[in-house]
Structure 1
């Protein structure tokens, strides 16, 4: 593959969170991502008050050091500093001076996996007051966006049986948030089945409805990374075709605000 893709979500930096454990693993991940076709990787360690205190200055220093090592190794990869911001009561404190997704107005946000939708609309309003908008990471993994939750038994059974749920996504939480300015990043591993069957089916549903603006590896480890990337790409391509898959991996829709 040609090197044209952008990884919008990656835990490449060593020993900052639950991602790469050391420099050796970071370099292995960097080689794999570059070989797959990524030219740019957004390094997005968790930023969680009381958990992973990866504030911008620390991430920027780590990216500078890692970029030098990658360059020394001859790996064709450009690193961009970022964060995966955890949606909790402390998030508003981080918004002034937060690391955006490149030069955009988006911040990568992780919604707690078991959170309900009640957190989401206030988040959009808070972001907007700072001239920002959320890029929500892997919504397919979050209970707040579960299409079966509001669709009754028929939708739940359809999801379990692997059929398209008979559900009007026009009234769903994820579509409402997209209309309010949120954007969504899908995990290649979700399409590859790395998080289980139900997450894969939700990812496919969202993909078919055009809800993703970009994709990411969300890579935490070097082991099995190549296999996950290849498998995830193949599934996305089988649903939306080669050009749309490449556009999602290049972030074309995100750049256009779509």
Structure 2
């Protein structure tokens, strides 16, 4: 399972040292199931040149209704059973918040776990967009939060009318694109839209969205390929500003 750790990794480094989107906290979503897996994924992230990891477990109605308590407990368990200091990795946590009724309740109760600088990672359902996303972005900003929309390139319902991207970005909602999208891991259209967002200078952050060893292998292949330097040549990202 962890064969990628047994080989000397000569993969090129990422052009930033802070990871803003990953699922490496053990046992609380569809990412790492236990501490062993978490440590393997963190080892790989270190090989990519990362020095700081902001873990972002799912907070999603009905499937992963995580709370500050469940997320904090998973973080503590990982920190207690591993020595991250020896890896030279600083680990902290926030969450990836699905915009749904559960999230609206969290917002009302003021139970948000923000990223540094009061940033907050939000996502749409893949089936349909949040019914009033521009209003929600405004409400978040009024509360002093800076929204970052996770993987906007993966929302197929936006593809045929891309003006929503411009509207949201001009409103101050920043965008985080997945490395896996640029690698072509999901599908051709997600990759094309990720490249289009780069061309329009609307990509503010890159993230691995790392869940498992399969993601590691695909990202390593991408980082070693010809498209990676071409993509990075035209992008200006803010990961290290968080």
**TM-score category by the smaller chain?**
0.7 to 0.9
User: Who is 2:6 aligned against?
Assistant: none
User: Who is 2:229 aligned against?
Assistant: 237
Question: Measured at CA, do residues 79 and 120 of structure 1 come closer, stay the same or move farther in structure 2, by a change above 3 Å?
Answer: same
Check if 1:210 corresponds to 2:201: yes
Deviation at 1:222, TM superposition (A): 2.1
Deviations 1:88-117 (A, max 9, x none): 12212212131112x222211111113247
Separation in structure 2 between the aligned mates of residue 134 and residue 73 of structure 1, nearest angstrom: 30
Question: Measured at CA, do residues 129 and 3 of structure 1 come closer, stay the same or move farther in structure 2, by a change above 3 Å?
Answer: closer
Question: Measured at CA, do residues 141 and 52 of structure 1 come closer, stay the same or move farther in structure 2, by a change above 3 Å?
Answer: same
User: Who is 2:83 aligned against?
Assistant: 71
Question: Measured at CA, do residues 126 and 77 of structure 1 come closer, stay the same or move farther in structure 2, by a change above 3 Å?
Answer: same
Deviations 1:130-187 (A, max 9, x none): 22232110000013432xx12xxxxxxxxxxxxxxxxxx6xx1111111111011110
The CA RMSD measured in Å over matched residues stands at 2.4
Matches within 5 A, 1:50-199: 50-71=62-83, 74-95=86-107, 96-101=110-115, 103-116=116-129, 118-146=131-159, 149-150=160-161, 172-199=163-190
Deviation at 1:66, TM superposition (A): 1.5
Check if 1:251 corresponds to 2:242: no
Question: Measured at CA, do residues 187 and 2 of structure 1 come closer, stay the same or move farther in structure 2, by a change above 3 Å?
Answer: closer
Question: Measured at CA, do residues 233 and 132 of structure 1 come closer, stay the same or move farther in structure 2, by a change above 3 Å?
Answer: farther
Separation in structure 2 between the aligned mates of residue 195 and residue 183 of structure 1, nearest angstrom: 22
Separation in structure 1 between the aligned mates of residue 157 and residue 91 of structure 2, nearest angstrom: 31
Separation in structure 1 between the aligned mates of residue 85 and residue 50 of structure 2, nearest angstrom: 16
Aligned counterpart for 1:223 among listed residues 190, 205, 214:
214
Deviation at 1:41, TM superposition (A): 1.1
SS at match of 1:31: helix
Deviations 1:179-198 (A, max 9, x none): 11101111000000100111
Extract unaligned runs of 5+ from structure 2. Answer: 1-12
Q: Number of matched residues?
A: 227
Aligned counterpart for 2:33 among listed residues 21, 25, 37:
21
Question: Measured at CA, do residues 78 and 178 of structure 1 come closer, stay the same or move farther in structure 2, by a change above 3 Å?
Answer: same
SS at match of 2:47: helix
